[in-house]
């Protein structure tokens, strides 16, 4: 599985809820977990791998040998946010870019688990940051959208480089064009969300 980089349009797409938990979805979740570990991430949202659906995975340790820390969130809703914290964030869709982001210190989140049951969790500190980062992805929001103007200014050259890389990849056919991406999003929404 390939992790799509900024500014791929699927990263700015508002993901739709999943309508059924079937083998296709379970296979996708297994692949996403594997991809997250492969790239040493602590979280991964479905649209980062091209699927425009409400799904993300998390393991705050980033260690595949600690599956007890592995969580799957289908159709998540953040019910409560409390407090404030600033934490340094990175993102697999923004390789080698890190910045401080201000977020809630505690979140309560409800979602569907992989067995179809409803799960409700409270997260604090680092996992709360991860949950909010991934939840943002599903709403088409990237962590750079949460930065102060000063922080954004500090990473402007890295962002410009990612844009140049993306445009080059599209020209060379390594990454689908915006038009093809739109078509693929519509096809996948039909498969997972209807």
Q: Which residues are catalytic?
A: 134
| C-alpha span between 172 and 133 (Å, rounded) | 31
Shortest distance, CB of residue 11 to Zn ion, whole angstroms? 9
Nearer to Zn ion among residue 21 and residue 159 (C-beta):
159
**Residue closer to Zn ion, measured from CB, 20 or 139:** 139
Measured distance CA(35)–CA(31) in Å, rounded:
6
Using Cβ positions, the residue closest to Zn ion within the complex turns out to be 91
Shorter beta-carbon distance to Zn ion: residue 91 or 101: 91
CA torsion sign, 79 to 90 to 33 to 127? negative
Closest distance between Zn ion and the C-beta of residue 93, in Å?
Answer: 5
Interface of this chain with Zn ion, residues 72 to 101, rule: CB under 5 A: 91
First-to-last alpha carbon distance for the chain, in angstroms, is 24
What is the gyration radius of the CA atoms in the chain, in angstroms?
16
Query: What is the per-residue binding string for Zn ion in 22-61, x denoting contact by CB under 5 A?
Result: ----------------------------------------
Cα 24 off chain centre by: 19
CA 56 and chain centroid, separation? 6
For residue 86, give every residue at least 6 positions away whose Cβ sits within 8 Å of its Cβ, in sequence order, or none: 100, 101, 102, 103
Residue 3 or 74: the one with the smaller Cβ distance to Zn ion is 3
- Going along the chain, which residue ranges are E strands? 43-45, 55-59, 70-82, 85-91, 94-103, 106-112, 118-124
Q: And the tokens for 154? A: 């500090």
Site residues, Zn ion (CB under 5 A): 91
């Amino acid at each position: 599985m390939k992790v799509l980089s900024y500014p791929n349009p699927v990263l700015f797409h508002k993901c739709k809820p999943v309508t059924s938990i079937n083998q296709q979805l379970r296979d996708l979740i297994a692949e996403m977990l594997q991809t997250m570990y492969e790239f040493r991430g602590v979280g991964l949202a479905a649209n980062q791998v091209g699927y425009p659906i409400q799904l993300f995975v998390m393991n705050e340790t980033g260690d595949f040998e600690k599956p007890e820390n592995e969580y799957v969130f289908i159709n998540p809703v953040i019910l409560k946010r409390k407090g404030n914290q600033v934490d340094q964030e990175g993102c697999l869709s923004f390789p080698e870019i890190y910045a401080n982001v201000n977020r809630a210190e505690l979140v309560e989140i409800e979602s569907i688990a992989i067995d179809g049951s409803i799960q409700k969790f409270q997260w604090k500190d680092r996992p709360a940051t991860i949950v909010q980062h991934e939840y943002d992805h599903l709403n088409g929001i990237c962590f750079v959208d949460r930065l102060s103007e000063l922080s954004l200014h500090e990473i402007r050259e890295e962002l410009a480089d990612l844009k140049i890389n993306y445009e080059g990849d599209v020209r060379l056919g390594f990454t689908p064009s915006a038009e093809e991406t739109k078509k693929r999003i519509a096809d996948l929404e039909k498969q997972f969300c209807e």
